[in-house]
A and B are shown apart, each in its own frame.
Chain A
Amino acid sequence: MDRNSTGLVFVLPALIVLAMLVAYPVAYTGLLSVTDRQGAFVGLDNFSAVLGARATPQAFWNTLWFVGGSIVFQVVFGTAAAILLNQNFIGRGIVRSITLLPWVVPGIVAATTWAWMFHTEFGIINYMMTGAGVIPEPIGWLTNGSTVMPVLIAINVWKLFPFVAIMVLAGLQSIPNDLYEAARVDGANFWQEVFHIMLPQVRSVIVAVTLLLVIWGLNSITIIYAITRGGPANRTLITPIQIFRLAFESTNFNQAAALSVMFFAVALVIVIIYIKALASTPGEVK
């Protein structure tokens, strides 16, 4: 055996495991999507059936709403929190740790807790808001079609903005102090420091974090499934949940696989567009 094939023998076990763990499920999903329950080849039937379902376009738009809405607020709040936590004030260490909490709490625990807090009759949120006279009568936050999505977005933002905050904070801390001092001598006030020094300097961090948030957002099931299961009336049905329900509630694995394949393709396109768009901005990453 020459050098190359000896090497191959050594990496083979790892490659086989990797293939079984990654390639097999992907390939099998592909296979499932073009066969029926008996395993007979049916061409694109599963795809047309899924696309014909009324829930599919709705889930698609819901997903865009949920992911887009979450990311905007996660990035805005996360960055704002990071800037705040980067200032000098008494008790900063404690506040920093507390900010981290939502990120540490397991998703399912957070979801259940929030579900109770938003409960129409027993939830603390309705209790406090009616008590304070902000709203005249209890609102069915999770049962009302117009409030349920914003509430879920809010919970998702609460859960993930600390992640953005930590990453951006790390970026802010690597900015040399000289730059702030130079800006102050140049006449910058606090907001001008934020917009001319801090944000440009953490731009690359925000770009990377946003990409992660897109990927996680497109995969997020826990919070929504634990709180509403996609209801009421499919108002919070996002595509990952639709796939999950097709597979495990309707036990239609073939259609679920077809939907997965399409979802994967769309997600891939979004991610590629995002990376391309940011890679082509005039190079000013440090």
Chain B
Amino acid sequence: MGSVNIAQARKSYGALEVLHGVSVNIANGEFVVLVGPSGCGKSTLLRMIAGLEAISGGEIAIDGKVVNTLAPKERDIAMVFQSYALYPHMTVEANMGFSLRLGGAPKDAIKARVAEAAKMLGLEDYLKRYPRHLSGGQRQRVAMGRAMVRKPKVFLFDEPLSNLDAKLRVQMRSEIKRNHQRLKTTTVYVTHDQIEAMTMADRIVVMNGGVVEQVGSPLELYDRPANLFVAGFIGSPSMNILSGRLENGTFMTADGTAFAVPGMASFGNRDVRLGIRPEHLCLDPNGLRAEIVTVEPTGSETQVMMRLGGHDVVGVFRERVVNAPGEMLPVSIDAERAHIFDPQTGKRLEA
């Protein structure tokens, strides 16, 4: 097991810099998820940890040892690829035991380790099969088994679930999580799916455009997003962002819609962005009047898209909404749970 320390890591392809100094410290045994929109550099960072991509600047240390110039095999890491990258000409057993075989381990030791991993993953019946005779979920498990058999210091996952259907994804999600709880191996997990990030991570690293936007536990990110990007990225449906002006503790949009925001008087009078999560809107006969655009019942709750104060706003209500589009819906905003951001820098403003 080992810690991973990334200090000011940079990556350039020729003149193009895609990672602009990323620093993350991952403790021994932690499950850290790198999340961010497509192209933000998650895979690149992961591959730099793995040693598959050269490090253009900064330092990466695994278990206290700087690995910048070490080959992948000297870093004691194991990686699960998005495509699984199983060796097509080897059986499941050979795939899982390949690294031990290369390391010159005795045959019965390999067999024992493979059997142990196979048992953990429910693969005992498939050991003699070739990868092409397995379903997507089974291949995914073999890929994880191949990583587990190594007993590495760090597991690296690059979007391992993105080729699976929704149901299997949920199942594998909890399986990965459970295996982590049993093995306690430090894990770095890349995904662009924020639900995966929220449900699996001990800590989430939100990346955007080659920089780290925020690092924190899932609920920290949810409750106190450091900036507009994180606010919009974490949570589904995303947080509503309203532009307006704060005056004497009252928030007012350009069209004059206004409501009090308690505890914000200390900001004085200034332009702000106000963020409010969909679940923090509630139906209230005395509330603001919003025009319904669409109503999407999911059964347990209702998602309503509406126009409020000149913005498109989404609300999620536990009540059933029977009104038709075009009608007015009275809603109130749970302003104590509103987030205030600086409109220029996008940074969170704290009272």
A: which residues have CB within 8 A of B? Answer: 176, 178-179, 181-188, 192, 196-197, 200-201, 203, 284, 286
Given contacts A176-B83, A178-B81, contact A185 B72 (CB under 8 A): yes
Cα distance A176–B71 in the bound complex, in angstroms: 20
A181 to chain B: closest CB distance in Å? 5
Q: Which of A192, A200, A284 contacts B102 (CB 8 A)?
A: A192
Q: How far is the CA of A197 from the CA of B71 in the complex (A)?
A: 18
A-B contact pairs, 19 of them (CB 8 A): A176-B83, A181-B85, A182-B79, A182-B85, A182-B87, A184-B51, A184-B73, A185-B72, A186-B150, A187-B72, A188-B102, A200-B87, A200-B90, A201-B89, A284-B89, A284-B130, A286-B88, A286-B89, A286-B132
Contacting residue for A201 out of B81, B88, B99, CB 8 A: B88
Chain A proximity mask over B60-84: 1 for CB below 8 Å, otherwise 0: 0000000000011100011101010
Give the complex CA separation of A197 and B98 in angstroms: 11
Q: Which residue of B lies closest to A200 (CB)?
A: B89
> In the bound complex, do residue A185 and residue B50 qualify as a contact, i.e. CB atoms below 8 Å apart?
yes
Enumerate chain B residues within 8 angstroms of A185, measured Cβ to Cβ. 50-52, 72-73, 77-79, 99
Which residues of the partner chain A approach B77 to less than 8 Å between Cβ atoms? 185
With beta carbons under 8 angstroms apart, the residue of B52, B73, B146, B150 that contacts A188 is B73
**What range describes how many residues of B lie at the interface?**
20 to 34
In angstroms, how far is the closest chain B Cβ from the Cβ of A193? 10
Q: CB-nearest residue of chain A relative to B74? A: A187
Distance, CA A186 to CA B145, complexed state (A): 12
Chain B minimum-CB-distance residue to A182: B85
Contacts of A187 in B (CB 8 A): 72-73, 99, 102-103
Contacts of A192 in B (CB 8 A): 102
Across the interface, B83 reaches (CB within 8 A) one of A178, A201, A203, namely A178
In this complex, the member of A181, A182, A188, A203 whose beta carbon has the largest number of chain B beta carbons within 10 angstroms is: A182
Docked complex Cα distance between A10 and B51 (Å): 64
Residues of B within 8 A of A186 (CB): 73, 98-99, 102, 146, 150
11 new A-B pairs (CB below 8 Å) besides A181-B85, A186-B99?
A: A182-B81, A182-B85, A182-B146, A185-B51, A185-B52, A185-B78, A187-B72, A192-B102, A196-B102, A201-B89, A286-B132
Give chain B's interface residues, CB within 8 Å of chain A: 50-52, 71-73, 77-79, 81, 83, 85-90, 98-99, 102-103, 130, 132, 146, 150
Chain B residue numbers with a CB within 8 Å of A184 are 51-52, 71-73
B73: which A residues are within 8 A, CB to CB? 184-188
Distance in angstroms between the alpha carbons of A187 and B50 in the assembled complex: 12
**B130 and A196 contacting across the interface, CB-CB below 8 Å:** no
How far, in whole Å, are A181 and B156 apart by their CA atoms in the complex? 13
Among A181, A188, A196, the residue within 8 A (CB) of B81 is A181
Shortest beta-carbon distance, A18 to chain B, in Å?
39
Give the residue name and chain of the B residue nearest to A192 (CB).
Answer: B102
Give, as a whole number of angstroms, the nearest-CB distance from B76 to chain A: 10
Q: How far is the CA of A274 from the CA of B79 in the complex (A)?
A: 40
Instruction: List the 9 shortest-distance A-B pairs measured between CB atoms, nearest first.
Output: A178-B85, A187-B73, A186-B99, A182-B85, A200-B89, A187-B102, A185-B72, A284-B89, A184-B72
Tell me the complex Cα distance, A284–B130, Å: 8
List A contacts of B81 (CB < 8 A): 178, 181-182
Residue of A176, A196, A201 touching B98 (CB-CB under 8 A): A196
Q: Are B89 and A181 in contact (CB under 8 A)?
A: no
Residue of B nearest to A180 (CB): B85
Q: Write out the residue numbers on chain A whose beta carbons fall within 8 Å of the beta carbon of B88.
A: 201, 284, 286
Question: Contacts of A201 on B, CB cut-off 8 Å?
Answer: 88-89
CB atoms of B102 and A181 under 8 A apart? no
